[in-house]
Chain A
């Protein structure tokens, strides 16, 4: 099976893994101590899980040995999954950014009279975690988009 996988399939795998990693970093940030503790963003977890599943399914579908119209349908479905996955990651990323801008501004750019109270180690770690989750999610997005350009199955020798 693995022998059938193209480079694109491996890139897609990388994207799925990065999505999972971003989900872990995000979850750790929300559950960890500090400013963003408990401040989850509606939909992000679900969207990221679906995105990862879509990528895996896209590969799996592509590697099936189907013939005729079934093969065509599987190809189309696989491709649509490759398109849908980065869209969900983009949706997660932009919503995460929108919900974190104000908090990050509070942590890093508060007035001098309150900044000592704001920049506690926990809040700083929480801010760093939020940025890290955005960065990883951004990388996952780029990789997922790149993967969408790639085929998932090696061309078979004729």
Chain B
């Protein structure tokens, strides 16, 4: 019995040990599964290739369903994005009892009238005229006929393609507004004045066809835009071609004459604004010489948005859109406009070289301005602008100055500086319609009920807003959340600027008649912080009260804050009607909570973006609210800035020549060695998809040869190339901001579908991030149908001024509205596996000389304006790509900017996606080695199958002749960085629908063995343990 007892005891110990080893060992095996599989030749996953098991699935069973969903979304954009700016005398909603008389060229041919990047051109597209007719409105045929047949005369012309020169059939008109304003040149405002109507085919008695008392006029005015286009202030020509000296975005005398004739012939007049560039509407707004009854913003339309616009105009749905920008009486009142366009440094020629640039021996390289599409031998570093307005862009300027005019008169808000409508500055004279303004047909209130602020990592501000429907109809309503941070003595001392009003987020809800609903809005708490570039050199939160409110626009928010602080109309407020404010208090100054991000220290990375860094003196005074008069911007292009006078002259010249990085010669690089790894579903499993730092990725790119590593980055092309030792798939890049421009041809029916049916302008004015997310899903689904996975599919650059020709591609003057809309679009695309890269991160604020202009600013502006617009998609959402701006940040090409791309984007934001330059059109401006070192994964040079640096004559690079395998092989850091960049790119492809297969975990032999050991050892441990106890007890009894 004793021996048996010992045996069972020993077995129990042995089995218990095995049980422990097997259980803990399971965790160890999971940690090293891929390495174990490599060593043992096993596979822990099997790939499922049938479509139903794909990681990213289409939401629509048929192409018809897909097209219907895209159309429905586009209609909602029209419904939610149309903004009723002015609505007097009951002009809106339009009554079916009244005849509609359409005036203005854009009423019959709204912008854009041709298919392309901005407009899909599907066969079932609906124009404004058709949409209004379909909505049941009666259209005056006499006016329609002479506009359509006499004035416009739609026909087809052959026009050369901008890129290829190929002649293509294009819709044209005898008289149409100018769709592309050109680059800082004269802009002809084409609107046929009524004096020419009869000459253009109107019957002499056309006015008799209108029953004035029962007619409402709709007058639509458009302004075009486009790539490489920039409006020039004061450049307007009238219909006759005469210079008027007026702002091209202001209504011309011809347009006002059309208004006048509309007022003469119709009892009510509604003006529709059909543009992505803010127009100047002073003449037709309240109190204007040509005041109209109603004004509505309809943005830049696409195929189906007019249906939604008509639904709003006829009252089928409530108006819930809001203005994404501030509309002013005169664009000259905008401080950012003071420094716009730019000009040369006084001695810009000293940057040019005559055969002395070692990279280009014997070549003469100028430093003059190049065209938007490149084409000359120049560093293009001669032009600069100073964004002296700092963070005060759009409403942040106007509302803060208004707030200070009431609350802080000592800040000189009432000074004459910036005043265009009176001797001294007056908000109500300068601003016509504020950011966030939009009238609702149905009476409602929005009241902020509670705010929670969570300052932990990834914590959010959570606000609950109650919407009360005061009308007798069910409806849909918009809620907007704003905040005011404390502006302290510390801020004044250290020039930390604070807008008195900051938009945070918005949302919409359906509410029953007379009922209430609660909208819960969240936004990351990090956006409450301000960047202190002078002292703390990181993000700070001031001590004091943070005021939150829900309001129908930025101006209402400003008034809510003033009232909360005890001010009334007697103090200068323009209303006594204000809303609730909720206060959150921070007890002590905080410079640590947001001083790290994603495990990285946050500190200055763009000191040299400040012109004062280079001049060594306080050349630039940036706008500060503590003295609106003394700090209001001057035009720094009129100040003689001499590079040669700088204490950092050589450094400055090197940057302007694109020499951010110089190829090293004493650091041998490792040649790529084939380790047998490949880019395929078998190798890329859950662990690799989850972690860009998984050793697989480093090992994979370590196989890429020096030639291909550098070549693949600097010749990124319009498609990624197949790398020899990687066997990655080619991934084609696609345009555009309204969705994929490629068409889907249904072989079964012969029908063609185009899915670029979105409108950036209307998604912006919808103020609805959830709608943006839904568009992202549609955009993603269309990519799956088209089998195209990489798209430059949105624009998130801040609209700094109304004059930028790309404003129609962007969202707003406000970084946070841009941030939230960008978040929605990019997350939607990512959820469908589509790589959607926003354009053009890094202050592409004007198209004029975009390929070289130096943009100077403070680091607070750098971090809180344009970059914040992109942060929602690239940091908060799972955004997987970004296109970098063309221009310079300070003197540094944005695509060379290590601070922006590596320190902020990769480190602080943890962005693991693909990074592209804009069009590589100037090798003297785009410096290949600097771009590689900044972390760019592909230079957009449009060619394919050219991922080498030995394809030029003599075995050198075909573009940058000083680069070759021989010259870079001694720069290990450069080659290593190139491989690192490709690692991110390949990782991005793997996490997209490019690798759209799912995998299933299977049990390997060692998994089975561990399972058996666990089970057997558990059973035997218990049995042997019990047996030991039993035998021991029996033995003792026997002994007794």
Contact = CB atoms under 8 A, between A and B. Distances in A.
B24 interface: yes
B914 to A, nearest CB: 26
A62 to B, nearest CB: 12
B9 A148 contact: yes
Contacts of B7: 149
Interface string B23-57: 01101100110000000000000000000000000
Given A79-B1032, A145-B14, A97 B28 contact: yes
Interface stretch (A26-34, A88-96, A118-126): A88-96
Nearest to A148: B13
A155 B1035 CA distance: 13
A145 B18 CA distance: 11
B1036 A72 contact: yes
A49 interface: no
A127 interface: no
B13 A86 contact: yes
A50 B31 CA distance: 28
A76 B10 contact: no
Contact of B9 (A91, A112, A149): A149
Interface string B1000-1027: 0000000000000000000000000100
B1040 to A, nearest CB: 7
Contacts of A97: 28
Given A111-B702, A145-B14, A75 B1036 contact: yes
Contacts of B1033: 72, 76
A148 B10 CA distance: 4
Interface string B15-27: 0110011001101
Contacts of A75: 1032, 1036
Nearest to A150: B6
Contacts of B21: 90, 93-94
A103 interface: no
Interface string A127-152: 00000000000000100111011110
B24 A83 contact: no
Contact of B16 (A71, A79, A87, A93): A87
B24 A151 contact: no
B1028 interface: yes
B13 A76 contact: no
A106 B547 CA distance: 53
A117 interface: no
B1036 A95 contact: no
Contact of A83 (B2, B9, B670, B1036): B9
Contacts of A89: 17
A68 B1033 CA distance: 11
B338 interface: no
A24 interface: no
A91 B1025 contact: no
Contacts of B27: 98
A87 B28 contact: no
Per DSSP, are chain A's interface residues mostly helix, strand or loop, or mixed?
A: helix
B654 interface: no
B10 A149 contact: yes
Contact of B1025 (A68, A83, A94, A101): A83
A76 B32 CA distance: 40
In terms of DSSP, what is the predominant structure of the interface of chain B? helix
Given A90-B21, A111-B702, A151-B6, A101 B32 contact: yes
B9 A79 contact: yes
Contacts of B1028: 79, 83
A86 to B, nearest CB: 5
B12 interface: yes
A82 interface: yes
A72 B1036 CA distance: 6
B6 A149 contact: yes
A145 B10 contact: yes
Contact of B17 (A8, A95, A141, A149): A141
B12 A83 contact: yes
B1032 A87 contact: no
A91 B22 CA distance: 10
A68 B1040 CA distance: 7
A83 B13 contact: yes
Contact of A90 (B20, B670, B1029, B1032): B20
Contact of B1029 (A76, A148, A151): A76
Nearest to A85: B13
Interface string A64-82: 0000100110011001001
A82 B28 contact: no
B13 A145 contact: yes
A94 B28 contact: yes
A68 B2 CA distance: 17
Contacts of A111: 702
A58 B847 CA distance: 85
B901 to A, nearest CB: 25
A69 to B, nearest CB: 8
Contacts of B1032: 72, 75-76, 79
A94 B24 contact: yes
Contacts of B10: 145-146, 148-150
Contacts of A72: 1032-1033, 1036
B16 A86 contact: yes
Interface in A23-68: 68
A85 B28 CA distance: 22
Contacts of B9: 79, 82-83, 148-149
A112 B25 CA distance: 30
B31 A98 contact: yes
Contact of A98 (B11, B13, B24): B24
Given A72-B1032, A72-B1036, A76-B1029, A83 B6 contact: no
Nearest to B673: A112
B733 to A, nearest CB: 33
Contacts of A149: 6-7, 9-11, 13
A150 to B, nearest CB: 6
B514 to A, nearest CB: 62
Contacts of A82: 9, 13
Contacts of B12: 83, 148
B39 to A, nearest CB: 12
Nearest to B11: A149
Nearest to A72: B1036
B31 A87 contact: no
A91 B6 CA distance: 23
Contacts of B972: 113
B1036 A71 contact: yes
B35 to A, nearest CB: 8
B630 to A, nearest CB: 56
B1009 to A, nearest CB: 16
Given A82-B13, A87-B17, A113 B670 contact: yes
A92 to B, nearest CB: 10
A30 B670 CA distance: 35
Nearest to A97: B28
A139 to B, nearest CB: 14
Contact of A151 (B2, B17, B670): B2
Given A83-B16, A150-B10, 13 more contacts: A72-B1036, A79-B5, A82-B9, A83-B9, A87-B17, A90-B16, A90-B21, A91-B24, A113-B670, A146-B10, A149-B9, A149-B10, A151-B2
29 contacts: A71-B1036, A72-B1033, A75-B1032, A76-B1029, A82-B13, A86-B13, A86-B16, A87-B16, A87-B17, A90-B17, A91-B24, A94-B20, A94-B24, A95-B24, A101-B28, A101-B32, A111-B702, A141-B17, A145-B10, A148-B10, A148-B12, A148-B13, A149-B7, A149-B9, A149-B11, A149-B13, A150-B6, A151-B2, A151-B6
What are the nearest 4 A-B pairs in CB distance? A149-B10, A148-B13, A90-B17, A72-B1036
